[in-house]
């Protein structure tokens, strides 16, 4: 039965809702797809629900096609599994927690690694049962600090999450690739531009992770991409290409110089240019080695200082640093901490005092650019003094390297000889090699061919289903409203009946019936006494890709077919309209 606008539970808004900033939010509310209930919590109205179901259908199709099996976990979960995995504490305020009448703790599931792991452990115990892939499409809950942009970032949202279980890493690679391929098909069908970026695999077990980002100005994720080769990565995941080590034969010996009142890179560079001018070029910030001390706080509450050496022209990127030291948190290295370590001279810290073997005993990690043979000006660990011509590998070493320096537009691509630029996107999907983190924590093991217990290797894979609805609108709208890709549109055809002549409405119903007989889904604007302008505006706002206008031309046996995206209209004889529309919908 066709939907009829005269009775459909829908009210379009002529004006923009005041709280909606991004286009998708504005349009989904104005066109009557969603209504806000509370911050980050939305009702799906009939048209919106149809779109949401369409996204689910596509996801389901492609998951089933790779042999993943659908199941459904509760959203209301006991807290114990999350305590076992350590995430009850780790997730912090982002979990919705509640207590039942007996005082037992529960939570609303933010994600389901634990439950999948435990359920597989419950039922399976042999390598013969693997590989296995399970998925669910389910409502998730996260008490986001700041929900925003309508359903783009909600506190309640629909997500498809799936998990793969393999007996070894090679199996995981296969499962991962299967999922990745399925995701490519899903996002192609959803109809938006996206990039696949390398992401952080996390501290434990995982070895590979990629995110599917819908390219969008309003996106919350910044990523970098190569201007030439197709490389794309999250800022956190960018690997700085380390230059080759250079021989240090013949380089001058290091020498300590007085550099009074030069606690910052800027003052130091000025001083160098004044007192120790170079022959070839002026000193620049990039000639200096900046040593930054931070404090790490581990999950168990212990604290550990960490020194990071990076070229002086770069800042430490907190996100990149945070991703590197996960699960530890980065906190400020404050005055108190400084005063407790007498080997540190603020503003003049140099490699000489750093490292687990150095005077300070602080672990020291270097930016990958600081390779053997490079010469630096850096602190001499005395007030007002710096060392010049300090050569990495000859005069100092560190405990390792770390990717913590900011990534800048124009930096070298790790993959080719070109440079990087930044762009923004919306995270739509994530494929992730979990490894054994959860299997280990929750004891998921199977017997292998030799009768030995081995820990199962897992992957996790997510698609933001409700978010996809908003992301698709971000990429598919114009000044008048939404322009749905065919597979997502709430219906295939929107029939607009204009005028007051009864034959027009009769014809609209006949066409609707015939189109439905051909298997198309139809919406009829059968409202009486509503002016044509209103109906045209509404049809454009709602965004069904094919609009059939039945009105004044009917007297001459003509109706109009309009393409929402191109705005092209053509008149066809009344008798041919069904065939023409079917062709257009199926072909397009």
Partner RNA sequence: CGGGGCAUGGCGCAGCUUGGUAGCGCGUCCGCUUUGGGAGCGGAAGGCCGCAGGUUCGAAUCCUGUUGCCCCGACCA
Give the rounded distance of the alpha carbon of 295 from its chain centre.
28
Residues 37-76: x where in contact with RNA by CB under 7 A, - otherwise, as a string: -xxx------------------------------------
Which residues sit opposite 392 in a β-bridge? 396
SS3 215: strand
Whose tokens are 């066109």? That residue is 31
Inter-residue contact 366 to 401 (CB < 8 Å): yes
**Which one among 4, 8, 10, 12 touches RNA, defined by CB under 7 A?**
12
The residues in 354-413 that bind RNA, with binding defined as CB under 7 A, are: none
**Which one among 140, 290, 314, 375 touches RNA, defined by CB under 7 A?**
140
Residue closer to RNA (CB basis): 97 or 552: 552
Q: Does 422 bind RNA (CB under 7 A)?
A: no
The residues in 219-258 that bind RNA, with binding defined as CB under 7 A, are: 220-221
Shortest Å, Cβ 78 to RNA: 19
Burial (CB count <10 Å: 0-12, 13-18, 19+), residue 387: buried
- As a whole number of angstroms, the distance between CA 470 and CA 194 comes to 14
Q: Does 462 bind RNA (CB under 7 A)?
A: yes
Q: Does 424 bind RNA (CB under 7 A)?
A: no
Q: Pick the piece of the chain touching RNA (CB under 7 A) from 12-20, 64-72, 468-476, 505-513.
A: 12-20
Q: Does 506 bind RNA (CB under 7 A)?
A: no
> Per the structure block, which two tokens stand in for 393?
């590998």
Find the Cα–Cα–Cα–Cα dihedral 327, 328, 332, 338, rounded to 10°. -160
**Which one among 167, 522, 540, 578 touches RNA, defined by CB under 7 A?**
540
**Which one among 180, 208, 394, 552 touches RNA, defined by CB under 7 A?**
552
Inter-residue contact 437 to 205 (CB < 8 Å): yes
Residue closer to RNA (CB basis): 204 or 251: 204
Inter-residue contact 516 to 232 (CB < 8 Å): no
- As a whole number of angstroms, the distance between CA 229 and CA 227 comes to 7
Q: Pick the piece of the chain touching RNA (CB under 7 A) from 63-71, 77-85, 138-146, 341-349.
A: 138-146
Residue closer to RNA (CB basis): 5 or 388: 5
Q: Does 576 bind RNA (CB under 7 A)?
A: no
Inter-residue contact 294 to 330 (CB < 8 Å): yes
Q: Does 479 bind RNA (CB under 7 A)?
A: no
Residue closer to RNA (CB basis): 91 or 276: 91
Q: Does 347 bind RNA (CB under 7 A)?
A: no
Q: Pick the piece of the chain touching RNA (CB under 7 A) from 15-23, 248-256, 449-457, 516-524.
A: 15-23
Q: Does 342 bind RNA (CB under 7 A)?
A: no
Shortest Å, Cβ 66 to RNA: 18
Residue closer to RNA (CB basis): 81 or 110: 110
- As a whole number of angstroms, the distance between CA 108 and CA 119 comes to 18
Inter-residue contact 213 to 195 (CB < 8 Å): yes
Q: Does 556 bind RNA (CB under 7 A)?
A: no
Q: Does 297 bind RNA (CB under 7 A)?
A: no
Shortest Å, Cβ 288 to RNA: 26
Sheet holding 255-258, edge to edge: 255-258, 385-391, 375-382
Q: Does 13 bind RNA (CB under 7 A)?
A: yes
Shortest Å, Cβ 347 to RNA: 25
> Per the structure block, which two tokens stand in for 239?
């690997």
Shortest Å, Cβ 535 to RNA: 8
- As a whole number of angstroms, the distance between CA 292 and CA 406 comes to 13
Residue closer to RNA (CB basis): 350 or 464: 464
Give residue 338's region: left, alpha or beta (phi > 0; psi -120 to 50): alpha
Residue closer to RNA (CB basis): 41 or 251: 41
Q: Does 452 bind RNA (CB under 7 A)?
A: no
SS3 578: helix
- As a whole number of angstroms, the distance between CA 117 and CA 450 comes to 23
The residues in 148-207 that bind RNA, with binding defined as CB under 7 A, are: 148-149, 153, 159, 161, 202
Reported as half-sphere exposure (CB side, CA atoms, 13 A), residue 424 has a value of 7
Residue closer to RNA (CB basis): 136 or 378: 136
CB atoms within 10 A of CB 421: 15
Q: Does 18 bind RNA (CB under 7 A)?
A: yes
- As a whole number of angstroms, the distance between CA 535 and CA 548 comes to 12
- As a whole number of angstroms, the distance between CA 262 and CA 380 comes to 12
SS3 76: strand
Which residues sit at the interface with RNA, rule CB under 7 A?
A: 11-15, 17-21, 25, 36, 38-40, 94, 110-111, 140, 142, 144-149, 153, 159, 161, 202, 220-221, 318-319, 322, 430, 432, 462, 464, 480, 498-500, 528-534, 536-538, 540-541, 549-553, 560, 562, 569
């Amino acid at each position: 039965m066709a939907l009829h606008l005269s009775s459909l539970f829908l009210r379009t808004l002529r004006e923009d809702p005041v709280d909606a900033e991004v286009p998708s939010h504005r349009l989904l509310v104005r066109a009557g797809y969603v209504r806000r209930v509370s911050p980050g919590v939305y009702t799906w109205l009939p048209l919106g629900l149809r779109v949401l179901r369409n996204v689910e259908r596509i996801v389901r199709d492609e998951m089933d096609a790779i042999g993943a099996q659908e199941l459904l976990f509760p959203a209301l979960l006991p807290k114990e599994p999350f305590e076992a995995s350590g995430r009850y504490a780790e997730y912090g305020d982002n979990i919705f927690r509640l207590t039942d009448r007996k005082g037992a703790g529960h939570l609303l599931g933010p994600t389901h690694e634990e439950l999948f792991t435990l359920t597989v452990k419950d039922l399976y115990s042999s390598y013969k049962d693997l590989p296995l892939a399970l998925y669910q499409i389910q409502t998730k809950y996260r008490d986001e600090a700041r929900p925003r942009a309508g359903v783009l970032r909600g506190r309640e949202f629909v997500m498809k999450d799936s998990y793969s279980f393999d007996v070894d890493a090679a199996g995981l690679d296969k499962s991962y690739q299967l999922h990745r391929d399925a995701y490519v098909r899903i996002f192609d069908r959803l109809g938006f531009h996206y990039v696949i970026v390398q992401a952080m695999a996390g501290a434990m077990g995982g070895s590979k992770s990629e995110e599917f980002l819908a390219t969008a100005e309003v996106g919350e994720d910044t990523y970098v991409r190569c201007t030439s080769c197709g490389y794309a990565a999250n800022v956190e995941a960018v690997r700085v290409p380390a230059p080759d080590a250079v021989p240090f034969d013949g380089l001058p010996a290091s020498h300590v110089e007085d550099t009074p009142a030069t606690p910052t890179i800027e003052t130091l560079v000025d001083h160098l240019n004044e007192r120790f001018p170079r022959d070839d070029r002026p000193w620049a910030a990039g000639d200096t080695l900046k040593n930054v001390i931070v404090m790490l706080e581990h999950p168990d509450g212990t604290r550990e200082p960490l020194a990071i050496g990076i070229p002086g022209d770069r800042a430490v990127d907190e996100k990149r640093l945070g991703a590197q030291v996960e699960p530890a948190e980065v906190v400020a290295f404050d005055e108190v901490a400084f005063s407790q370590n007498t080997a540190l001279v603020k503003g003049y810290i140099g490699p000489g005092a750093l490292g687990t073997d150095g005077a300070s005993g602080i672990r020291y990690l270097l930016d990958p650019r600081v390779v053997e043979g490079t010469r630096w000006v850096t602190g001499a660990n005395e007030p007002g003094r710096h060392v010049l011509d300090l050569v990495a590998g000859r005069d100092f070493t560190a405990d390792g390297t770390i990717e913590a320096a900011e990534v800048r537009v124009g930096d070298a691509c790790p993959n080719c000889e070109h440079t990087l630029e930044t762009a923004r996107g919306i995270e739509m999907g994530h494929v992730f090699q979990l490894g054994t983190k959860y299997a280990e924590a929750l004891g998921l093991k199977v017997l292998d061919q030799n009768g030995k217990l081995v820990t199962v290797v897992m992957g996790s894979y997510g698609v933001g289903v409700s978010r996809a609805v908003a992301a698709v609108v971000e990429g598919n709208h114009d000044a008048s409203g939404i322009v749905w890709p065919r597979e997502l549109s709430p219906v295939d055809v929107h029939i607009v009946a204009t005028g007051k002549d009864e034959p027009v409405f009769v014809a609209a119903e006949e066409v609707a019936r015939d189109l439905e007989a051909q298997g198309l889904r139809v919406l009829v604007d059968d409202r009486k006494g509503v002016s044509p302008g209103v109906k045209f505006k509404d049809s454009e706002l709602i965004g069904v890709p094919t609009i059939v206008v039945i009105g004044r031309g009917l007297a001459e046996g003509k109706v109009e077919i309009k393409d929402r995206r191109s705005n092209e209209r053509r008149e066809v004889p009344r008798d041919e309209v069904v065939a023409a529309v079917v062709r257009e919908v199926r072909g397009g």
